[in-house]
Homo-oligomer: A and B are copies of this chain.
């Protein structure tokens, strides 16, 4: 069965130059996949007409082409003009839309204390659409647009991710897009997430379990210390997927920590919440990253009390009660320091559970005995303690990121008493 094919064209000179990371491409691709389409290609181009024309001509060779960017009021914004050209349509001013954009621009003019005359050309331009196109309304000053080009439904959305995500649901409700989605039967999704075993072992277990194919497509992705197996399941292959999942559980059960999409921070907070436990972190090399990840989850205040980032050694002493003798004898990067940091923050912040991280993030600060990447973790709670020493590869960013993930997984293991191996 051939699913409708989706292509994505993201425009923006700062994107094609690598000055900014694109977020719209991954968002639209994941949406296409979720809706049962086959995301085939994401293309990023700048704002040169010849590049846009080429990208659109290539992108329109699909059932659904999702375009973002280049809808602003300036002369550099060429998306609508070139979409129209490739689709063989004239450009027409939509007067009702023009009045709508005028109103928004008038407010902006007032707020910026600029004469409205400066906005007129831009307003007219943004109200100019390919003939026959459907307007999705405004999120900023530019409307989203849907049109058809030679069998391809084209959705054009603004570049700013927030505006794009506001208009996206309206695109899904439009008739042309609905007709494409009707041809895309739902696909099942399964996820299995493992921790403490290498990617190669998971790949091998998947092969032994029967592997890819016959309506089940598997992707294996290593992310910090987690190995994610994601299955996309055609409607008639649910039974096969069940067998695959069962066999993977059998082979790697001790490393399996989740079968849903929750982040490790969400999992940890849910574990605390369901046990009515509060949580605090004591951080050094991670510098607040563990706390930041936990607090990125809405509702984290149910369980999370706070954190002490004790970057300087004196702060480990004064704020966490780490004994000076421990710092002198074992150093700030040691199992003993981690243990005292965990005990100290638990007491000071009145938390039931705590995790401490101390290590050498690099590039500086290393010694022969304590190289870059050496990290000590300690988690402490009502049910006991867990401690780990890990030796991480990579640069500062990688060491900090992985240490953060390892700390969260250590709390998970403390709370579930899951004594699996690994970092």
Which A residues lie at the B interface, using CB under 8 A?
13-23, 25-33, 39-46, 51, 54-55, 58, 74, 108, 112, 114, 118, 162, 198, 200-201, 203-204, 219, 221, 223, 228, 230, 278, 281, 283, 285-292, 294-296, 298-301, 304-312, 314-315, 318-319, 348-350, 361-365, 394-398, 400
Contacts and interface: CB of A to CB of B under 8 A. Distances in A.
B112 A296 contact: no
A365 to B, nearest CB: 8
B42 A16 contact: yes
B33 A17 contact: yes
Contact of A29 (B17, B31, B285, B306): B17
Nearest to A315: B306
A309 B312 contact: no
B301 A312 contact: yes
Across the A-B interface, give the 7 residue pairs with the lowest CB-CB distance, nearest first. A287-B295, A288-B288, A18-B30, A18-B29, A288-B291, A18-B26, A307-B309
A52 to B, nearest CB: 10
A55 B7 CA distance: 12
Given A306-B319, A307-B288, A349-B315, A19 B294 contact: no
11 contacts: A14-B230, A18-B33, A19-B30, A19-B230, A20-B223, A41-B45, A42-B44, A285-B295, A301-B365, A305-B311, A306-B310
B311 A295 contact: yes
A334 to B, nearest CB: 17
B18 A25 contact: yes
A200 B26 contact: no
A287 B298 contact: no
Given A290-B288, A309-B306, A349-B319, A296 B396 contact: yes
> Counting chain B CB atoms within 10 Å of each CB, which of A23, A290, A292 scores highest?
A292
Contact of A58 (B29, B51, B58, B300): B58
Given A51-B41, A112-B201, A309-B307, A19 B288 contact: no
Given A17-B39, A312-B306, A292 B292 contact: yes
A88 B296 CA distance: 50
Contacts of A286: 292, 295
